[in-house]
A and B are shown apart, each in its own frame.
Chain A
Amino acid sequence: MPAARRDEPDTASLVLRIAERQDKEAFKALFVSFAPRVKTYLIRHGAAPDRAEELAQETLLTVWRKATYYDPARASVAAWMFTIARNLRIDTLRREKSAVAYALTVHEPESSEETPHTARQTAQEAGRVRKAISELPPEQLQVIQLSFFGDKAHAEIAEQLCLPLGTVKSRLRLALARLRGLVGDLA
């Protein structure tokens, strides 16, 4: 998994360079590193390749415009990119206003007890999560991937896999238990 070798603090510093001095070279580096993967993410959600490229481009442009809001102590660049791509996907592909975006706006200012991390810790955490995901048993990885990339809620995932809903939920629970502790307290 080549992504796991990427030096995570660097992606955060790229965003900070955009925030501080509108650094176009930093944008270019982020685009090359993330846009093709965001495209794949959108295709997994059923977007046509052209549409997926447009939205991946829009995701990176949103990063450029919103760079000053990025807080490296709160989230990895990948996690932030994920929420931007998800919200664009929901807004444009579903033609529904995103209630998820609504939640994110409401919770912007958080108390310090919820953000105990430094940027470096967040980056290390992201690396550990990537590693843990790559080590999940196949049946748990499948449920996690379908959960995040299939545009299906759990009841539908169970139907697709011809599994009882309880089995899907318990695989998800097991997968999250392995990742728990790597990223704050997963309830």
Chain B
Amino acid sequence: MTTSPAKYGPTKHPTDAVLTDYVSGSLRQAFSAVVAAHLEHCADCRVAVSGLEAIGGALIESLPAGDMDAERLIEAMAALDKPEPKRAQEGKPTEGRVPFGGELWLSPGMGIRRARRAGKGKDLLYLLRLPAGQITLPHGHNGVEFTTVLKGAYKDGDQIFAAGDFCELDASCDHQPQVQTDGECVCMIASERPMRTTTRIGRIVQALTGV
């Protein structure tokens, strides 16, 4: 799904708060997937995640023990020799696949792979592919947006986001990112609500893509 990790690793990372939400399981699915895509590129953040999991373990150990029905242990002991019950998909790792829908092409070399709406609520998860040099339509966001660059790079204001880099934006941000001129750019994006478009063509694109 991604290009090989950058030699020196990404330079833009999720905050402590985002990684903590990720590890505790309180990030919604679409946003978790974008953090996971960054982790695939970033050894430093994987180490940070292990550290947070160690804290989670220590916190569990420091919790008071609940009253357990003695039957539970007896049932569990009896279940040890039985084969694992087959559960319909449940608890089965998704093997790195994110449930993306079909690809929607806007123009040659430019497209959006739409995701199903992730879980309940209005979250969207999608892959955005833009050709070299493309300037996006000016837009803002109505809620939080997470982006991980999977391939290529784009410039947003003074900052350059390259493969593996992570970006968190909130509703206060209006921007117009531009793809670097040396190649196409593919990003995985989770957003809370539809973006705010400020142009007519933007609204048409939005109607077509559901973004």
Q: Is the CB–CB distance between B15 and A105 below 8 Å?
A: no
- Out of A28, A92, A144, name the residue touching B59 (CB < 8 Å): A144
Task: Provide the bound-state CA to CA distance between A79 and B96, in Å.
Answer: 22
Q: Is the CB–CB distance between B93 and A101 below 8 Å?
A: yes
For the complex of A and B, the 5 pairs showing the least CB-CB separation, nearest first, are: A78-B57, A79-B57, A99-B32, A36-B65, A103-B36
Task: Provide the bound-state CA to CA distance between A153 and B23, in Å.
Answer: 11
Task: Judge if B119 is at the interface, Cβ distance under 8 Å.
Answer: yes
Task: Provide the bound-state CA to CA distance between A36 and B3, in Å.
Answer: 44
Task: Judge if B13 is at the interface, Cβ distance under 8 Å.
Answer: yes
Q: How many B residues face the partner with a CB closer than 8 A?
A: 70
CB under 8 Å from chain B, chain A span 24-74:
24, 27-28, 31-32, 34-41, 43-44, 49, 52-53, 56-57, 60-61, 64-65, 74
Task: Judge if B17 is at the interface, Cβ distance under 8 Å.
Answer: yes
Give residues in B with beta carbon < 8 Å to A. 13, 15-17, 19-30, 32-33, 35-36, 39-40, 43-69, 72-73, 75-77, 79-80, 84, 89-91, 93-99, 118-120
- Out of A87, A154, A187, name the residue touching B21 (CB < 8 Å): A154
Q: Which B-chain residue is minimally distant from A147 (CB atoms)? A: B20
List of B residues within 8 angstroms of A22 by Cβ: 80
Task: Provide the bound-state CA to CA distance between A180 and B98, in Å.
Answer: 32
Task: Provide the bound-state CA to CA distance between A149 and B72, in Å.
Answer: 23
Q: Is the CB–CB distance between B40 and A106 below 8 Å?
A: yes
Give residues in A with beta carbon < 8 Å to B. 1, 3-4, 6, 22, 24, 27-28, 31-32, 34-41, 43-44, 49, 52-53, 56-57, 60-61, 64-65, 74-83, 85-92, 94, 96-107, 110-111, 113-114, 125-126, 129-130, 133-134, 144-145, 147-154, 168-169, 172-173, 176, 179-180, 183-187
Q: Is the CB–CB distance between A87 and B91 below 8 Å?
A: yes
Chain B facing A: main interface SS: helix
Q: Is the CB–CB distance between B25 and A133 below 8 Å?
A: no
Give 8 A-B contacts (CB < 8 Å), ordered by A residue. Answer: A41-B60, A75-B53, A77-B57, A78-B61, A89-B25, A99-B30, A102-B94, A103-B39
- Out of B21, B40, B47, B66, name the residue touching A153 (CB < 8 Å): B21
Q: Which A-chain residue is minimally distant from B73 (CB atoms)? A: A31
List of B residues within 8 angstroms of A168 by Cβ: 17
Q: Is the CB–CB distance between A24 and B77 below 8 Å?
A: yes
Q: Is the CB–CB distance between A130 and B61 below 8 Å?
A: yes
Q: Is the CB–CB distance between B47 and A184 below 8 Å?
A: yes
Q: Which B-chain residue is minimally distant from A76 (CB atoms)? A: B57
Distance in Å: Cβ of A35 to nearest Cβ of chain B = 6
Distance in Å: Cβ of A42 to nearest Cβ of chain B = 9
Q: Is the CB–CB distance between B65 and A57 below 8 Å?
A: no
Q: Which B-chain residue is minimally distant from A84 (CB atoms)? A: B91
Q: Is the CB–CB distance between A106 and B36 below 8 Å?
A: yes
Distance in Å: Cβ of A160 to nearest Cβ of chain B = 12
Q: Is the CB–CB distance between B62 and A40 below 8 Å?
A: no
- Out of B25, B62, B80, name the residue touching A86 (CB < 8 Å): B25
List of A residues within 8 angstroms of B48 by Cβ: 184-187
